[in-house]
Chain A
């Protein structure tokens, strides 16, 4: 076999190209974050974070959105976590590869691939209209919970699978039943991994727009009940940017969003590390 280019040379060329492309990718990320921070961090002061929104967003702060985002996300976690962890427990502890397991896995995998606009459509027709919950925190929270459910199922499943079989056998040998073993040995051991999954779910929920705008509404007033319409940070940012209402406030909101995302990912990442370090 003869090569037109000497294989050593082609390797150097390939390496250079790969390195360049990788560096470009990483630079893009750093650029995005730096750009938002450069223009947005200046907006962040106590007023911005604690005042109500005035003039459709041109003045004032983003407190209603912060609170709204918090409530919607909280609701979605409260619903999705027990369902997700429960599903994961059933998948790992009670099935062995039969039809039920494949069915549930298939459902979770497909759900993970559904785009957010479809969730928006679904949440709109089902929660807002058919169940008559109106545009509000509860409709938004329910919709988001369905969206993050697969994330929690997947990560919890990994975490529970990682618990060594020996732990379970020891518990059984000491006379423990299946539920005891799960409750007292498996879950506590898998907890860091499960929490990581929940935190990643929070990350997804916070950045979500299409699913939320058609279910939680876009009101700028302070939420007063779970039926209150609210405008989450991501939605607020979108409206500010698209309607050109205030570039400054838009940058500020974006900065808050990015900081939240960075924080969430950082915490999740740290937890994963501690978890993996314990068992590998």
Chain B
């Protein structure tokens, strides 16, 4: 049996973030391995979403001030072009928001920004993305219909497909199932697990059971600080920090 070397995909080093004098993240140190699903849990305002927006530099839209660095494959994200960074690290928002237009247009939007595609290349891309997102069978006859006609769960998977079409390396999800019913939630979790070997996932969730179901490792955040970070099993059976324990057992949240 050969040992699988874990490679670090994203390395967060001494990273702090603040907006308008509120500190959202305080001195975070965290390494994310390739092909793992990292679950990030914690109560509201703990900095979970800010972390995701820091990694793809979306926080710059809110005039955030940062300190420290974040590395993607050993290169600082600040030395990459921001557009390229965002293609390599995709972000799925909590509310499934589809862009106006057809299913087909939604999927190809990001890719068409990069270069000119031939028609059959686009078709293949759409098939690939929808298939990977487990949505192909449900929409294959409705590709030209407006994306807003899909159900909530389908729209969220469409958002995933839209991101997959860019062939990212990392996929970040910010509470992706918060507005969805259990069946849609299950489908999305299934998708994550099926894609795990090809991508790295960062999943922010306020549903600890979901984190327990799908994550490889779990990080617990509280008020902008990283409190504890370990394998899923360890966090949920014997967490080292009392605060982690309290949160997981529901004493606060």
Contacts and interface: CB of A to CB of B under 8 A. Distances in A.
B56 interface: yes
B113 A175 contact: yes
B161 to A, nearest CB: 12
A166 B113 CA distance: 18
Interface in A135-180: 164, 166-167, 169-177, 180
B99 A170 contact: yes
Interface in A159-210: 164, 166-167, 169-177, 180, 184-185, 188-189
Given A169-B58, A169-B93, A185 B110 contact: no
Residue of A167, A175, A185 with highest tally of chain B CB at under 10 A = A175
A206 to B, nearest CB: 32
A170 B100 CA distance: 12
Contacts of A175: 83-84, 86-87, 110, 113-114, 166
Contact of B99 (A172, A177, A180, A185): A185
Contact of B86 (A172, A185, A189): A172
Contacts of B97: 164, 166-167, 170
Main secondary structure of the interface of B (DSSP, over half): helix
Contacts of B162: 174
A172 B61 CA distance: 10
B171 to A, nearest CB: 11
Contacts of A177: 83, 113
Given A164-B97, A166-B93, A189-B100, A174 B61 contact: no
B145 to A, nearest CB: 17
Residue of A170, A174, A180 with highest tally of chain B CB at under 10 A = A174
B160 interface: no
B47 interface: no
B200 interface: no
Nearest to B88: A175
A173 B95 contact: no
A23 to B, nearest CB: 42
B99 A169 contact: no
A232 B58 CA distance: 53
B159 to A, nearest CB: 8
Main secondary structure of the interface of A (DSSP, over half): helix
B109 interface: yes
Residue of B58, B100, B114, B166 with highest tally of chain A CB at under 10 A = B100
A173 B100 CA distance: 16
Nearest to A166: B97
Contacts of B166: 174-175
Nearest to A189: B100
B72 interface: no
B222 to A, nearest CB: 26
B64 to A, nearest CB: 14
A188 B58 contact: no
Nearest to A180: B113
A180 B82 CA distance: 14
B177 to A, nearest CB: 17
B91 interface: yes
A177 B93 CA distance: 19
Contacts of B95: 166
Contacts of A170: 93, 97, 99, 159
B122 to A, nearest CB: 15
Nearest to A175: B87
A232 B9 CA distance: 70
Interface in A112-141: none
A176 B110 contact: yes
A169 B61 CA distance: 9
Nearest to A177: B83
B42 interface: no
A166 B87 CA distance: 17
A173 B99 contact: no
B113 A173 contact: no
Interface string B48-86: 000000001010010000000000000000000001101
A237 B100 CA distance: 46
Contacts of A166: 93, 95, 97
Contacts of A180: 113
Contacts of B109: 171, 174, 176, 184
21 contacts: A167-B97, A169-B58, A170-B93, A173-B56, A173-B58, A173-B93, A173-B163, A174-B86, A174-B87, A174-B110, A174-B166, A175-B83, A175-B84, A175-B87, A175-B166, A176-B109, A176-B110, A176-B113, A177-B113, A185-B100, A189-B100
Given A170-B99, A174-B87, A189-B100, 12 more contacts: A164-B97, A167-B99, A169-B58, A169-B93, A170-B159, A172-B86, A173-B93, A173-B163, A174-B109, A175-B83, A177-B83, A185-B99
Query: Which 3 pairs show the lowest CB-CB distances between chains A and B?
Result: A174-B110, A175-B87, A173-B91
